[in-house]
Amino acid sequence: MSENKSVWVLAEQKEGQIEAASLETLSCGRQLADDLGGWLVAVVAGSDIRDLAGVLASYGADEVFLLDNPLLLEYNAELYVEALSGLIKDENPDVLLCGATLTGRDLAPRVAARLSAGLVSECISLAINQEGRLSGTRLTHGGMVSSTILCPASGPQMATVKPGIMTIDRQDTARKAETRIITPELGRSKSHIRLKGVVKADPDKISLDEADVIVAGGKGVASRENLQLLEEMAGQLGGIVAGSLGAIDEGWLPRKKLVGQTGTTVAPKLYIACGISGSIYHVLGMRDSGFVIAINKDRNAPIFKVADMSIIGDTTEIISAIIEQLRGLAGETSKNHGEAGNAGKV
């Protein structure tokens, strides 16, 4: 370990906004840096990204490296690895973290291979032991086993952090950070990858770990047809539908919609569990949700132990009643807006 210990976080940005998964990783990095008695450094790549330094500082970074080059505007694995690995070799950080996002899962192993460094992937927790070594805990064997792995002491100790697990620290806009703008020399001709264009995802089909509202259905929903009620309720609330293992096993929802230890870990502002018993495997995937509403006819269902609001009764009837109330509120809101608009014309 170097005398000036540093923890680096590779922060992702899209269209000038830092990704939520990177803010989670930054908060985790802040704790590790404090445990090491060192500095937290945020590294972000892109073009004309100077404004991001203040954001990263406000979430805990002591220093910010801006890799600024028009060729880094969109993610290109070869160019990103070239820019990052060169900087890492020059600065020699002790710990290097990034989110286990689509980009992070592609970039981190490439960087680790280039640096001959160890990598612990999909971590649900990280810690610094008494020898100053990074240890990462991850789920293995289909989520049935929790394994803690030590990184090699030589070279940067690398890990990716599973999104939706860590809590984002409170923003402090008064915090400042040293900022270095670095313009890496990159050759487009060296890259075998050509970006033809960017297709934006349908906002109604965002990933589970990005949703603010999730309406999840379990086997207690009783049928695939009843999932349409969940779809309507989610639409009224501006959310998306997910499911427990029971609903997935029944074939009512695709595997990518699974919330739980063996699926996606989520932390939405609102989580509505409909007909879900609440096994430990499911709870581990949603326990960090802001507010949890559980609907189940079994008053002894384990899900009620983690719910902020419990509704006991027939799931389908309760959801139908909620939808009617939401429709009424939506209609009233539209009417009020119409009246306000007419008043403005008088």
**Burial group, residue 191, by CB count within 10 angstroms (0-12, 13-18, 19+):** middle
Which of 20, 12, 18, 6 lies closest to 166, judged by CA?
20
pLDDT band at 14 (very low <50, low <70, confident <90, very high): confident
pLDDT band at 345 (very low <50, low <70, confident <90, very high): very low
Strands 13-14 and 17-18: antiparallel
Looking from the CA of 332 toward its CB, the CA atoms found within 13 Å total: 6
CATH number of this structure's domain 203-343, picked from the four choices 3.40.50.1220, 3.90.120.10, 3.10.50.30, 3.10.300.10 = 3.40.50.1220
Per-residue confidence (pLDDT) for residue 189, from 0 to 100: 55
Per-residue confidence (pLDDT) for residue 4, from 0 to 100: 67
Distance in angstroms (rounded) separating the CA atoms of residues 187 and 178: 28
pLDDT at 28 over 80: yes
Mean pLDDT to the nearest integer, 231-259: 93
Place of tokens 């086997």: 219
Structure tokens at 155: 């070279």
Q: What is the pLDDT of residues 146-174, one digit of tens each?
A: 889 988 766 799 999 988 778 889 999 99
Which of 245, 238, 236, 255 lies closest to 217, judged by CA?
245
Q: Output the DSSP codes for 145-204.
A: EEEEEEPPSSS-EEEEE-TTSSPPPPP-TT---EEEEE-----GGG-S-------PPPGG
**320 touches 229 (CB < 8 A):** yes
The residues with which 111 forms a beta bridge, in sequence order, are: none
Q: What is the pLDDT of residues 183-214, one digit of tens each?
A: 988 865 567 777 777 666 565 567 888 888 99
Residues 6+ apart with CB under 8 A from 116: 155
The residues with which 296 forms a beta bridge, in sequence order, are: 312
Distance in angstroms (rounded) separating the CA atoms of residues 258 and 107: 25
pLDDT at 346 over 50: no
Per-residue confidence (pLDDT) for residue 167, from 0 to 100: 84
Comparison of pLDDT for 98 and 290, the residue scoring more = 98
Domain covering 6-190 assigned CATH 3.40.50.300 in the classification: no
Segment among 88-102, 140-154, 291-305 with least mean pLDDT: 140-154
Per-residue confidence (pLDDT) for residue 306, from 0 to 100: 93
Distance in angstroms (rounded) separating the CA atoms of residues 137 and 167: 16
The residue extents of the domains of the chain are 6-190, 203-343
Strands 178-182 and 63-68: parallel
Per-residue confidence (pLDDT) for residue 127, from 0 to 100: 94
Topology match between the domains 6-190 and 203-343: yes
Q: What is the pTM of this model?
A: 0.67
pLDDT at 262 over 80: yes
pLDDT at 3 over 80: no
**Alpha helix stretches (DSSP H) within the chain:** 20-36, 52-58, 77-91, 102-115, 227-237, 245-249, 280-286, 315-345
Mean pLDDT to the nearest integer, 247-260: 93
Mean pLDDT to the nearest integer, 286-311: 94
Mean pLDDT to the nearest integer, 106-129: 93
Distance in angstroms (rounded) separating the CA atoms of residues 66 and 319: 48
Distance in angstroms (rounded) separating the CA atoms of residues 194 and 2: 38
pLDDT at 234 over 80: yes
What is the CA 101 to chain-centroid distance, rounded? 7
**152 touches 119 (CB < 8 A):** no
Which of 270, 274, 299, 298 lies closest to 286, judged by CA?
270
Distance in angstroms (rounded) separating the CA atoms of residues 67 and 43: 7
The residues with which 138 forms a beta bridge, in sequence order, are: 123, 147
pLDDT above 90: percentage of residues in the chain: 62
Structure tokens at 209: 């770990």
Which CA distances in Å does 255 have to 77, 248, 278, 334?
27, 6, 18, 37
pLDDT at 249 over 80: yes
Residue 207 amino acid letter? S
Per-residue confidence (pLDDT) for residue 142, from 0 to 100: 58
Per-residue confidence (pLDDT) for residue 1, from 0 to 100: 37
pLDDT above 70: percentage of residues in the chain: 88
Per-residue confidence (pLDDT) for residue 343, from 0 to 100: 46
